[in-house]
Amino acid sequence: MADRHLSLNEVAYQAIREKIIQGEFNPGCRIREDHLADEISMSRTPVREAINRLVSDGLIINKARKGLYLIDPSREEFESYLDIRIALEKLSVEQCIDRIEEEGLMRISEALDEFGFRMKNKKYDLCNQLDGEFHLLIAEISENKKLYTILDELSSFFLQTRSLEKKENPDVKNIKTLREHRIIYEAIRNKDKVIAKEALFKNIDTMRDNLHLQ
């Protein structure tokens, strides 16, 4: 049942976004507003608004005179997005280290514990979400609002990517992700910008390996 505290537009947005992240649609497939409305048992007006948000998020492309399609990034597009992430997240972790206090360290530690708990219970979809939230948390603590906004805009793209990246051997891949995140956390706690940036690069490079982009 939909949460009564959420608008119909928000309920539709979350439902469709979840379908995309769960891999219910093949990359590049056509997205039909009427079919989605039937699938989530909602009228077409909130579904249309939700789709417009997903177009803004970059998960759906509106092709002129052709219709709506789920993104199907090329190898080159993946590489470009990863390069952008590396540059932005290195700045994010530097500024996080400059500004972080005990409360921020506690929040990161708790996020890692939550990831570990979900992983042990094989809640891999939640692990994918928590993976993205870990990186956004660092940006939030950096107190650079513009940087956070840009990384947040990229997060939807990478959330879908993570579902593809960790489709095979999710146990092994999530264990590695958690280990890499803990190294980043330790570097932040020790205020070691060099190690933190190296660990971030390695973490993002792992995604490259998992997607066979090397």
Task: Indicate whether 140 pLDDT > 90.
Answer: yes
- Does 57 share its domain with 112? no
Chain-wide mean pLDDT for the chain? Answer: 90
pLDDT tens sequence across 72-123: 888 888 888 889 999 999 999 999 999 999 999 999 999 999 999 999 999 9
Number of domains in the chain: 2
Q: Are 51 and 33 in contact (CB under 8 A)?
A: yes
- Does 144 share its domain with 160? yes
Q: Give the C-alpha distances (Å, rounded to integers) separating 103 from 99, 107, 116, 141.
A: 11, 6, 20, 10
- Is residue 2 one of the residues assigned to a domain? no
**Distance in angstroms (rounded) separating the CA atoms of residues 57 and 24:** 18
**Domain extent at residue 181:** 75-210
- Does 49 share its domain with 130? no
- Does 189 share its domain with 98? yes
- Does 55 share its domain with 104? no
**Distance in angstroms (rounded) separating the CA atoms of residues 154 and 141:** 18
- Return the top range by mean pLDDT from 25-29, 149-153, 168-172, 196-200: 196-200
